[in-house]
Structure 1
Amino acid sequence: MSMNLTIATRESRLALWQAEHVQGLLRQQGHAVTLLGMTTQGDQILDRALSKVGGKGLFVKELEVALDEGRADLAVHSLKDVPMELPEGFVLAAVLEREDERDAWVSPHCAGLADLPSGAIVGTSSLRRVVLLREALRALGRDDVRIEPLRGNLDTRLRKLDEGQYHAIVLAAAGLKRLGLAARIRKIFTPEEMLPAAGQGALGIEIKHGATAQTAALEQALSNLAHQPTWLRVAAERAVSRAMGGSCSMPLAAHAAFVSSPAPKGATLRLRAAWGDVQGRLPLVQAQDEAAVHGLDDAEALGLRVARQLQEAVRRAGGTLQS
């Protein structure tokens, strides 16, 4: 059954690419799909860190209002921007196949951290990246390098770099690749060098759940877009963040990967997580575990186990978790 569908999306170039990608996939199924572009609070507030003004949920609230009011049928999100707990009545209907989940080093002059000049400034929007960069800089004996906040959409961040406000910036590799900007990448950090954020590189589709024939038909259409191996990976990662009270105000990393490739049903999933102290007074703490996963419940159970290990490691280090 073909449907007339409306996708709620932010209006940044990357968000529109993501929505248009889903639009194209649904049109291939025979559905008529239009976009509803919106500006969110997260797009409007650029002079303060997200952790100070309400977190990454600011990027999805207006889209959820559009779903609630019936102005849109689905919303496409970068999954790392989606809060770990959705409002009542809303569900994650599909997770698409993941792009590159790693972080990218972008700099016109410096090939990596070791090449930074004395007193250099590195920009990032993420507390996770702050603590991981600081750890890497300490290992190099580079306490002269400053890590400064960087806000704005992808194009704005690149413009600030090109204007000389930063010597280098760290971004998600996925966004650069999706917009045809892979040539800007000087280096991609391996997960061992910089553990990614939960859900980074994956797209999630949110809908308002309801016991109607229209909702059932929509869920069926979206289920055809879902990529189960990606969904299992990000479910484990998001379970860690949820258990830790994670938000963008918590410097938390979580990354899951199948030990065998390709990942058959029941393959072993390995999950690593890390937490850092924003003030730099405590060492970086890490935890990992692995298990055979057959479904989302198994993946989330793995995430909870790793979260408990991480919580205990934080306590042993003398830290206090605050969401």
Structure 2
Amino acid sequence: MADTSTLVIGTRGSPLALAQAHETQARLAASHGWTPERLPLSIIKTTGDAIQDRPLSEAGGKGLFTKELDIALLDGSIDLAVHSAKDLPTALPEGIVIAGYLPREDVRDAFISRRYGSLRDLPQGAVVGSASLRRQAEIRRLRPDLQVTLLRGNVQTRLAKLDRGEVDATLLAMAGLRRLGLTDHVTAVLDVDDFLPAVGQGAIAIATRADDERVRQAVETILDAPTGHALAAERAFLTVLDGSCRTPIAGHARLDGGALEFRGLVLRPDGSETLEAVRRGDASDAAALGREAGLELRSRMPAGFLNA
């Protein structure tokens, strides 16, 4: 069991995961006046990290990035787990909860190419690499003439493949590039109105044991309420649609004063058809707004739409 004089932070070992874990560690240390030694990192390799040769949708979905961290939480090896919110499945194992989220980073996607200035500028037949079904479908929706191919690996690996000419362009999350100090690679930033991000994009989620009041009270000081409201709407939307790595779903909520605005999309994988729902209401009703949007889209979907 973990030493109660410390809070052990569990994380994947990718550069981005470590950057997010270090941000969490620094915020906790600053909030409580603790030394980093009280907040050791435990690096845990997940099944998702080991799979590089096929889409995660074929291997089991989002839970591949969380399963081993969940096990470590439940057996007491770690006290909290740091996740990219968009990697979290909609249903967590019994005994684990999302305590909350750090302040959200830039939610937008970045277009990166060594030869072309934007997605619009790519010539017919150009190859765009992405591991995300959501990005692949949105690319095809805007540019059905392009070739879209699988591009797995961490951020640095994908950039290296781009440099080797394996693809003409790729899309990555601005949040990850900012956290890694790699924004100099960005060719253009895609507007949210044109290219809706993944549910949870840009947010760091903190997971804890449901019954561990000590840890939950400790992390409460660094959690961001507006991000929590936005993610409540987005994850409720995803839950209704049974969203996973197998489904091209996009969703984004933002606060405007005390009001929450939500927009959600479900796309056919080939980008040929898109269904959209929009909601606006009080932030305290965030989960209900997201759920309503998801139910609306479910009622409008042709048979087999999600499995097309």
Same fold (TM > 0.5): yes
Any conservation in 2 of the 1:9–1:38 contact (CA below 8 Å)? yes
Distance in 2, Cα, partners of 1:285 & 1:94:
29
Query: What amino acid does structure 2 have at the position aligned with 1:85?
Result: A
Alignment of 1:28-47 (within 5 A): 28=30, 29-31=32-34, 32-47=38-53
Match of 2:305 in 1: 320
Any conservation in 2 of the 1:245–1:322 contact (CA below 8 Å)? no
Percent identity reads 43
Q: Which of residues 133, 143, 163 in structure 2 aligns to 1:137?
A: 143
CA apart distance, 1:320: 3.0
Distance in 2, Cα, partners of 1:60 & 1:20:
18
Distance in 1, Cα, partners of 2:115 & 2:270:
29
Q: Give the SS at the match of 2:33.
A: coil
Question: Is the counterpart of residue 303 in structure 1 residue 293 in structure 2?
Answer: no
Distance in 2, Cα, partners of 1:232 & 1:183:
31
- Count of residue correspondences: 301
Query: What amino acid does structure 2 have at the position aligned with 1:275?
Result: V
Any conservation in 1 of the 2:141–2:270 contact (CA below 8 Å)? no
- Cα RMSD between the aligned structures? 1.5
Question: Is the counterpart of residue 18 in structure 1 residue 8 in structure 2?
Answer: no
Match of 2:238 in 1: 241
Distance in 2, Cα, partners of 1:252 & 1:6:
33
Match of 2:122 in 1: 116
Match of 1:184 in 2: 185
Question: Is the counterpart of residue 271 in structure 1 residue 262 in structure 2?
Answer: yes
Alignment of 1:4-153 (within 5 A): 4-28=6-30, 29-31=32-34, 32-138=38-144, 143=145, 145-153=146-154
Q: Give the SS at the match of 2:226.
A: helix
CA apart distance, 1:322: 4.5
Distance in 1, Cα, partners of 2:148 & 2:229:
33
Q: Give the SS at the match of 1:110.
A: coil
1:27-46 Cα offsets, whole Å, 9 max, x none, are 22134100011111100010
Query: What amino acid does structure 1 have at the position aligned with 2:76?
Result: G
Between 1:270-279 and 1:195-204, the stretch displaced more is: 270-279
Match of 2:160 in 1: 159
Match of 1:169 in 2: 170
Match of 1:196 in 2: 197
Instruction: Give me the TM-score of the superposition, normalised by structure 1.
Output: 0.90
Query: What amino acid does structure 1 have at the position aligned with 2:261?
Result: R
Distance in 2, Cα, partners of 1:128 & 1:121:
17
Query: What amino acid does structure 2 have at the position aligned with 1:19?
Result: A
Distance in 2, Cα, partners of 1:226 & 1:166:
38
Distance in 1, Cα, partners of 2:300 & 2:68:
37
Distance in 2, Cα, partners of 1:90 & 1:59:
15
